[in-house]
Amino acid sequence: MSKNYITFAEAINKATIQSMELEKNVFVFGIGVDKHGNIFGTTKDIKEKFGSDRIFDTPSSEQALTALAAGAANAGLRPILIHQRLDFMIYSFDQIINWISLWSFKSSKKSKMPLTIRAVVGKGWGQGPQHAKSLHTIFAHIPGIQVVMPSTPYEAKGLLLSSIFSNDPTIFIEGRSLFSMEEEVPKEPYFIELGKAKICKKGEDITLVSFGSAMPTALEAAKDLSALNLSVEVIDLRTIKPLDITTILQSVNKTRNLVVYEPGWKSFSISSEIIATVSENIGSELLNNPKRLCWPDSHIPMSTPLEKEFYPTKKELINEIKLTLKK
Protein backbone atom coordinates (compact mmCIF):
# COMPACT_ATOMS: atom_id res chain seq x y z
CA MET A 1 0.00 0.00 0.00
CA SER A 2 1.23 3.52 -0.79
CA LYS A 3 1.18 5.87 2.19
CA ASN A 4 0.98 9.57 2.92
CA TYR A 5 0.84 11.81 5.98
CA ILE A 6 -2.62 13.19 6.67
CA THR A 7 -4.51 14.54 9.67
CA PHE A 8 -7.32 12.84 11.57
CA ALA A 9 -9.86 15.14 9.87
CA GLU A 10 -8.38 14.36 6.45
CA ALA A 11 -8.53 10.63 7.21
CA ILE A 12 -12.26 10.95 7.89
CA ASN A 13 -12.62 12.84 4.62
CA LYS A 14 -10.67 10.23 2.61
CA ALA A 15 -12.64 7.34 4.12
CA THR A 16 -15.91 9.03 3.21
CA ILE A 17 -14.85 9.75 -0.37
CA GLN A 18 -13.50 6.24 -0.89
CA SER A 19 -16.66 4.66 0.50
CA MET A 20 -18.71 6.72 -1.97
CA GLU A 21 -16.44 5.59 -4.80
CA LEU A 22 -16.77 1.96 -3.76
CA GLU A 23 -20.55 1.99 -3.28
CA LYS A 24 -23.03 4.23 -5.11
CA ASN A 25 -25.60 3.79 -2.33
CA VAL A 26 -23.45 5.69 0.20
CA PHE A 27 -24.59 9.27 0.77
CA VAL A 28 -23.85 12.01 3.32
CA PHE A 29 -26.17 14.51 4.96
CA GLY A 30 -26.52 16.70 8.02
CA ILE A 31 -26.52 20.29 9.18
CA GLY A 32 -23.72 22.22 7.44
CA VAL A 33 -22.09 19.27 5.66
CA ASP A 34 -21.61 21.22 2.41
CA LYS A 35 -21.24 24.70 3.91
CA HIS A 36 -18.23 26.80 4.92
CA GLY A 37 -15.93 24.74 7.14
CA ASN A 38 -17.26 21.39 5.86
CA ILE A 39 -17.57 19.94 9.38
CA PHE A 40 -13.99 20.84 10.32
CA GLY A 41 -12.83 19.80 6.85
CA THR A 42 -14.13 16.24 7.05
CA THR A 43 -16.62 16.73 4.16
CA LYS A 44 -14.38 18.92 2.01
CA ASP A 45 -14.66 18.48 -1.80
CA ILE A 46 -17.36 15.81 -1.56
CA LYS A 47 -20.09 17.95 -3.16
CA GLU A 48 -17.76 18.92 -6.01
CA LYS A 49 -16.91 15.26 -6.62
CA PHE A 50 -20.31 13.59 -6.20
CA GLY A 51 -22.92 16.32 -6.54
CA SER A 52 -25.80 17.46 -4.34
CA ASP A 53 -27.70 14.17 -4.71
CA ARG A 54 -25.11 12.38 -2.55
CA ILE A 55 -24.24 15.10 -0.04
CA PHE A 56 -26.68 17.73 1.10
CA ASP A 57 -27.32 20.23 3.87
CA THR A 58 -30.44 19.85 6.01
CA PRO A 59 -32.66 21.84 8.35
CA SER A 60 -32.08 21.67 12.09
CA SER A 61 -34.35 18.74 12.94
CA GLU A 62 -32.39 15.88 14.45
CA GLN A 63 -35.42 13.61 14.92
CA ALA A 64 -36.45 13.93 11.27
CA LEU A 65 -32.88 13.49 10.00
CA THR A 66 -32.40 10.30 12.01
CA ALA A 67 -35.74 8.91 10.85
CA LEU A 68 -34.72 9.69 7.26
CA ALA A 69 -31.43 7.85 7.79
CA ALA A 70 -33.24 4.82 9.23
CA GLY A 71 -35.66 4.69 6.32
CA ALA A 72 -32.89 5.03 3.75
CA ALA A 73 -30.85 2.27 5.40
CA ASN A 74 -33.87 -0.02 5.51
CA ALA A 75 -34.40 0.64 1.80
CA GLY A 76 -30.88 -0.56 0.98
CA LEU A 77 -28.87 2.66 1.04
CA ARG A 78 -25.87 3.37 3.28
CA PRO A 79 -26.44 6.80 4.83
CA ILE A 80 -23.85 8.75 6.80
CA LEU A 81 -25.56 11.24 9.09
CA ILE A 82 -23.23 13.84 10.63
CA HIS A 83 -23.70 15.87 13.81
CA GLN A 84 -21.22 18.70 14.44
CA ARG A 85 -21.62 17.98 18.15
CA LEU A 86 -22.59 14.72 19.79
CA ASP A 87 -24.86 16.70 22.15
CA PHE A 88 -27.28 17.32 19.27
CA MET A 89 -27.99 13.58 19.02
CA ILE A 90 -29.93 13.75 22.28
CA TYR A 91 -32.91 15.03 20.29
CA SER A 92 -32.93 11.80 18.28
CA PHE A 93 -32.79 9.25 21.12
CA ASP A 94 -36.28 8.00 20.29
CA GLN A 95 -35.31 7.19 16.70
CA ILE A 96 -31.97 5.62 17.69
CA ILE A 97 -33.15 3.57 20.67
CA ASN A 98 -36.73 2.69 19.72
CA TRP A 99 -36.30 2.33 15.96
CA ILE A 100 -32.76 1.83 14.75
CA SER A 101 -31.42 -0.43 17.52
CA LEU A 102 -34.50 -2.67 17.35
CA TRP A 103 -34.76 -3.12 13.59
CA SER A 104 -32.71 -6.26 13.17
CA PHE A 105 -34.04 -7.78 16.40
CA LYS A 106 -37.70 -7.31 15.46
CA SER A 107 -37.16 -8.91 12.06
CA SER A 108 -35.20 -11.89 13.44
CA LYS A 109 -32.15 -10.41 11.66
CA LYS A 110 -33.85 -10.55 8.27
CA SER A 111 -33.72 -6.76 7.92
CA LYS A 112 -30.46 -4.78 7.95
CA MET A 113 -29.71 -1.28 9.16
CA PRO A 114 -26.44 -0.16 7.46
CA LEU A 115 -26.42 3.29 9.03
CA THR A 116 -23.47 5.34 10.31
CA ILE A 117 -23.96 8.35 12.56
CA ARG A 118 -20.86 10.51 12.95
CA ALA A 119 -20.72 12.78 15.99
CA VAL A 120 -18.01 15.16 17.24
CA VAL A 121 -17.10 15.70 20.91
CA GLY A 122 -16.00 19.33 21.27
CA LYS A 123 -13.43 19.10 24.04
CA GLY A 124 -11.41 22.27 24.59
CA TRP A 125 -11.62 25.98 23.70
CA GLY A 126 -14.59 26.72 25.96
CA GLN A 127 -17.18 24.42 24.41
CA GLY A 128 -19.05 24.15 27.67
CA PRO A 129 -21.70 21.72 28.92
CA GLN A 130 -23.87 21.70 25.78
CA HIS A 131 -21.13 21.07 23.20
CA ALA A 132 -18.61 18.74 24.84
CA LYS A 133 -20.46 15.73 26.25
CA SER A 134 -19.29 12.24 25.36
CA LEU A 135 -22.32 9.97 25.61
CA HIS A 136 -20.63 6.78 24.44
CA THR A 137 -21.68 4.89 27.58
CA ILE A 138 -25.38 5.54 26.89
CA PHE A 139 -25.17 4.18 23.35
CA ALA A 140 -23.03 1.20 24.40
CA HIS A 141 -25.74 0.26 26.90
CA ILE A 142 -28.31 -0.25 24.11
CA PRO A 143 -28.35 -3.66 22.36
CA GLY A 144 -28.13 -3.57 18.58
CA ILE A 145 -25.81 -0.55 18.27
CA GLN A 146 -22.07 -0.48 17.56
CA VAL A 147 -20.02 2.30 19.15
CA VAL A 148 -16.66 3.25 17.61
CA MET A 149 -14.13 5.76 19.02
CA PRO A 150 -10.87 6.05 16.99
CA SER A 151 -7.77 7.67 18.45
CA THR A 152 -5.49 8.18 15.41
CA PRO A 153 -5.79 9.11 11.72
CA TYR A 154 -5.03 5.51 10.73
CA GLU A 155 -7.81 4.22 12.96
CA ALA A 156 -10.21 6.95 11.86
CA LYS A 157 -9.99 5.94 8.21
CA GLY A 158 -10.04 2.15 8.66
CA LEU A 159 -12.73 2.13 11.33
CA LEU A 160 -14.98 4.55 9.44
CA LEU A 161 -14.81 2.41 6.30
CA SER A 162 -15.66 -0.67 8.34
CA SER A 163 -18.56 1.19 9.98
CA ILE A 164 -19.99 2.39 6.68
CA PHE A 165 -19.91 -1.09 5.16
CA SER A 166 -21.25 -2.81 8.26
CA ASN A 167 -24.87 -3.93 8.09
CA ASP A 168 -25.46 -2.87 11.69
CA PRO A 169 -26.05 0.70 12.93
CA THR A 170 -22.90 2.41 14.16
CA ILE A 171 -22.33 5.49 16.31
CA PHE A 172 -18.93 6.85 15.23
CA ILE A 173 -17.62 9.27 17.88
CA GLU A 174 -14.76 11.64 17.02
CA GLY A 175 -12.75 13.73 19.48
CA ARG A 176 -12.41 17.26 18.10
CA SER A 177 -9.07 17.55 19.94
CA LEU A 178 -7.68 14.81 17.66
CA PHE A 179 -8.54 16.44 14.33
CA SER A 180 -5.11 18.04 13.78
CA MET A 181 -3.17 14.86 14.70
CA GLU A 182 -1.08 13.70 11.75
CA GLU A 183 0.43 10.34 10.84
CA GLU A 184 1.20 8.10 7.88
CA VAL A 185 -1.95 6.53 6.45
CA PRO A 186 -2.35 4.25 3.39
CA LYS A 187 -3.84 5.98 0.36
CA GLU A 188 -5.88 2.92 -0.61
CA PRO A 189 -9.05 1.83 1.20
CA TYR A 190 -8.52 -0.53 4.14
CA PHE A 191 -10.71 -1.90 6.89
CA ILE A 192 -10.08 -2.28 10.63
CA GLU A 193 -12.10 -5.00 12.33
CA LEU A 194 -14.81 -3.67 14.62
CA GLY A 195 -14.75 -5.15 18.10
CA LYS A 196 -11.01 -5.79 18.09
CA ALA A 197 -8.75 -3.80 20.43
CA LYS A 198 -5.10 -3.00 19.70
CA ILE A 199 -2.14 -3.45 22.01
CA CYS A 200 -0.20 -0.24 21.30
CA LYS A 201 2.65 -0.92 23.70
CA LYS A 202 3.75 -4.16 25.31
CA GLY A 203 4.36 -4.18 29.05
CA GLU A 204 4.74 -6.43 32.06
CA ASP A 205 3.86 -4.47 35.22
CA ILE A 206 0.38 -3.07 34.58
CA THR A 207 -2.31 -2.88 31.89
CA LEU A 208 -3.56 0.58 30.91
CA VAL A 209 -6.80 0.55 28.88
CA SER A 210 -7.97 3.68 27.09
CA PHE A 211 -9.67 4.90 23.89
CA GLY A 212 -10.62 7.89 21.79
CA SER A 213 -9.27 11.31 22.73
CA ALA A 214 -7.66 9.94 25.93
CA MET A 215 -5.22 7.70 24.05
CA PRO A 216 -2.46 10.26 23.30
CA THR A 217 -2.18 11.04 27.03
CA ALA A 218 -2.21 7.34 27.90
CA LEU A 219 0.71 6.67 25.56
CA GLU A 220 2.66 9.68 26.85
CA ALA A 221 2.16 8.53 30.44
CA ALA A 222 3.35 5.02 29.59
CA LYS A 223 6.46 6.46 27.94
CA ASP A 224 7.26 8.63 30.96
CA LEU A 225 6.80 5.67 33.31
CA SER A 226 9.25 3.63 31.24
CA ALA A 227 11.94 6.06 32.37
CA LEU A 228 11.08 5.00 35.93
CA ASN A 229 11.48 1.31 34.99
CA LEU A 230 7.74 0.73 35.08
CA SER A 231 6.55 -1.38 32.16
CA VAL A 232 3.02 -0.40 31.08
CA GLU A 233 1.01 -2.38 28.53
CA VAL A 234 -1.31 0.02 26.69
CA ILE A 235 -4.54 -1.15 25.04
CA ASP A 236 -6.55 1.03 22.65
CA LEU A 237 -10.12 -0.29 22.63
CA ARG A 238 -10.98 1.31 19.25
CA THR A 239 -14.57 0.08 19.59
CA ILE A 240 -16.61 0.38 22.77
CA LYS A 241 -19.37 -1.89 21.49
CA PRO A 242 -18.54 -4.66 20.76
CA LEU A 243 -16.04 -4.58 23.62
CA ASP A 244 -12.95 -6.75 23.13
CA ILE A 245 -12.86 -8.12 26.66
CA THR A 246 -10.71 -11.08 25.52
CA THR A 247 -7.69 -8.88 24.75
CA ILE A 248 -8.13 -7.05 28.07
CA LEU A 249 -8.35 -10.26 30.09
CA GLN A 250 -5.29 -11.74 28.38
CA SER A 251 -3.27 -8.64 29.16
CA VAL A 252 -4.41 -8.30 32.78
CA ASN A 253 -3.87 -12.02 33.34
CA LYS A 254 -0.22 -11.32 32.45
CA THR A 255 0.35 -8.00 34.29
CA ARG A 256 -2.12 -8.68 37.15
CA ASN A 257 -2.71 -4.93 37.50
CA LEU A 258 -5.20 -2.65 35.75
CA VAL A 259 -5.95 1.05 35.25
CA VAL A 260 -8.63 2.33 32.87
CA TYR A 261 -8.37 5.88 31.54
CA GLU A 262 -11.66 7.05 30.03
CA PRO A 263 -12.67 10.26 28.19
CA GLY A 264 -16.05 10.40 29.93
CA TRP A 265 -17.85 10.58 33.27
CA LYS A 266 -16.80 8.15 35.99
CA SER A 267 -20.10 6.82 37.32
CA PHE A 268 -21.77 4.01 35.32
CA SER A 269 -18.96 4.17 32.76
CA ILE A 270 -17.13 1.93 30.31
CA SER A 271 -14.29 1.80 32.83
CA SER A 272 -16.78 0.48 35.41
CA GLU A 273 -17.84 -2.26 32.99
CA ILE A 274 -14.24 -3.24 32.24
CA ILE A 275 -13.21 -3.39 35.89
CA ALA A 276 -16.34 -5.35 36.84
CA THR A 277 -15.76 -7.89 34.07
CA VAL A 278 -12.08 -8.30 34.93
CA SER A 279 -12.95 -8.72 38.62
CA GLU A 280 -15.61 -11.32 37.82
CA ASN A 281 -13.28 -13.36 35.64
CA ILE A 282 -9.78 -13.08 37.15
CA GLY A 283 -10.24 -10.91 40.23
CA SER A 284 -8.48 -13.40 42.49
CA GLU A 285 -5.36 -13.17 40.29
CA LEU A 286 -4.94 -9.40 40.65
CA LEU A 287 -2.05 -8.09 42.75
CA ASN A 288 -3.79 -4.78 43.49
CA ASN A 289 -7.26 -3.32 43.23
CA PRO A 290 -7.95 -1.97 39.71
CA LYS A 291 -8.39 1.79 39.35
CA ARG A 292 -9.95 4.21 36.87
CA LEU A 293 -9.35 7.81 35.93
CA CYS A 294 -12.29 9.58 34.28
CA TRP A 295 -14.04 12.91 34.10
CA PRO A 296 -15.53 14.08 37.40
CA ASP A 297 -19.29 13.63 37.76
CA SER A 298 -20.01 17.23 36.89
CA HIS A 299 -21.11 19.20 33.85
CA ILE A 300 -18.22 20.55 31.78
CA PRO A 301 -17.37 24.19 32.56
CA MET A 302 -17.10 26.79 29.80
CA SER A 303 -14.44 28.89 31.52
CA THR A 304 -10.99 28.02 30.14
CA PRO A 305 -9.26 27.88 33.58
CA LEU A 306 -12.06 25.71 35.00
CA GLU A 307 -12.07 23.51 31.90
CA LYS A 308 -8.36 22.82 32.40
CA GLU A 309 -9.11 21.69 35.94
CA PHE A 310 -11.97 19.47 34.77
CA TYR A 311 -10.13 17.13 32.40
CA PRO A 312 -7.70 14.59 33.95
CA THR A 313 -4.04 15.23 33.11
CA LYS A 314 -1.04 13.09 32.29
CA LYS A 315 0.35 13.82 35.76
CA GLU A 316 -2.84 12.53 37.38
CA LEU A 317 -2.74 9.39 35.23
CA ILE A 318 0.89 8.71 36.14
CA ASN A 319 0.07 9.13 39.82
CA GLU A 320 -2.92 6.77 39.50
CA ILE A 321 -0.72 4.09 37.93
CA LYS A 322 1.98 4.52 40.57
CA LEU A 323 -0.63 4.33 43.35
CA THR A 324 -2.03 1.13 41.85
CA LEU A 325 1.45 -0.39 41.81
CA LYS A 326 2.18 1.11 45.24
CA LYS A 327 5.27 2.86 43.84
Q: What is the DSSP string of 70-99?
A: HHHHHTT-EEEEEESSGGGGGGGHIIIIII
Candidates 36, 83, 131, 141; catalytic one: 131
Q: Residue 185 and residue 155: Cα distance in Å, rounded?
A: 9
Residue type, 117: I
261: left (phi over 0), alpha (psi -120 to 50) or beta: beta
* CA-based nearest residue to 116, from 37, 19, 210, 35: 19
Active site residue 136: no
Q: Residue 305 and residue 178: Cα distance in Å, rounded?
A: 21
Give me the active site residues, please. 131
